[in-house]
Structure 1
Amino acid sequence: MAIVEVRIDDRLIHGQVSNLWVPHFGVERLLVVDDAVAADEDRKAVLRFACPPQCKLSVFDTAKAAEKLSRGIDAGIRVMIVAVGPIPLLRMQELGYRLPSITVGNMSRRPGTRQVANLAYANGEELAAFQGLLNFGVTLAFQPTPTSRREDLTAAVTKMNEGH
């Protein structure tokens, strides 16, 4: 399997992913990794509707995603992983599936969150998950669109976790 991008975006599949990221990477399969979404048939139906026609869609919980990706399912297909936040991606790392880099996109402002980057806000649990990913050697960068400048998040995440 060729993982061409791992993206955090709390909107999951939407206009930017469908119209900008999918063509940019020539994505053939979108893989949403989220325990709650995987158990919610209504949300999965909405994601199927939002998925661009040139892509297949898979929605897995973290354990199933780590297991299937470790087995190399869909070998040779260009896959983009999308998650709502860093927690499921950290869990995949803990289960043994290695992600070399993650691009952070929109993480909406919510009560109890702090700004990590423009348009990216994280709560304490998410900040700890980002730090856990950094501890695994994962590269974290903020990039809203494929043509936007990539902003390394290592220093910002580390500083924010030291403040807790």
Structure 2
Amino acid sequence: MDIRLLRIDDRLIHGQVATTWAKSTGISRIIVVSDQVASNSLQKLLLKQAAPPEIKAHVISVSKLIEIAGHPLMKDVKVMLLFTNPSDVMESYKRGIPMKVVNIGGMKFTEGKQMVTHFVSVDQEDINAFQYLDAQGIELEIRKVPSDRKQLVIDVLKKGDFL
């Protein structure tokens, strides 16, 4: 599997992902990786329909990602892995999914979370996952679209006194 972009965006497949990021990375597949979403047949159907016609979309669990990652049929497939949260990214890394950069595109505000940018909110579980990934030498960049200036999530967390 040729991972062209590994992104956290709880909006999943939407305009920015389906157009800007897909074109800039040259992917042929978007793989949404979420145990919760993978168990919701309606949400799976809607997400598959949201992808551009030239890009195949799949919705799978973290375990399924681990299972298919090394499969010979996936060897040269250019993919975007799309996650809803950093804990699933951390779990995927721990289970053997290689990564150098994680793009953070959007994590909505919900009860128990705090805003760190105008489109990224975190709780302690998110912070712990980000710290773990950072300690592994993985770059954690906040950018909505490719043309945005990179912000490193650890720097943003430090500046906001979250660390």
Q: Do the structures match in fold with TM over 0.5?
A: yes
Match for residue 65 of structure 2?
Answer: 65
Question: In 1, distance between residues paired with 2:42 and 2:53?
Answer: 19
What is the CA-CA distance between 1:101 and the residue it aligns to? 1.0
Where does 1:44-123 land on structure 2 (aligned, <5 Å)? 44-71=44-71, 73-123=73-123
Alignment partner, residue 29 of structure 1 = 29
The range that moved more, 120-129 or 150-159, is: 150-159
Residues 99/111 of structure 1: CA separation in 2 closer, same or farther (3 Å cut): same
- Secondary structure in structure 1 of the residue aligned to 2:97: coil
Structure 1 residue 40: Cα displacement: 1.1
Task: Give the TM-score taking structure 1 as reference length.
Answer: 0.91
Aligned to 2:139: 139
Q: 1:98 and 1:77 mapped to 2: Cα distance? A: 15
Give the letter aligned to residue 145 of structure 1: V
Alpha-carbon deviations, 1:92-143, whole Å to 9, x = none? 1121222111000111111211223331111111111111211222110000
Q: Aligned partners of 1:15, 1:130: CA distance in 2, in Å?
A: 26
- The alignment-based identity, stated in percent, is 30
What is the DSSP-based 3-state SS (H/G/I as helix, E as strand, rest coil) of the residue aligned with 1:117? coil
| 103 and 72 in structure 1: CA distance in 2 versus 1, 3 angstrom threshold | farther
Q: What's the TM-score once normalised by structure 2's chain length?
A: 0.91
The runs of 5 or more residues in structure 1 that have no matched partner are none
Unpaired runs of at least 5, structure 2:
none
1:12-64 deviation line (CA, Å, top 9, x unaligned): 00011112111111110001110011111111001011011111112111122
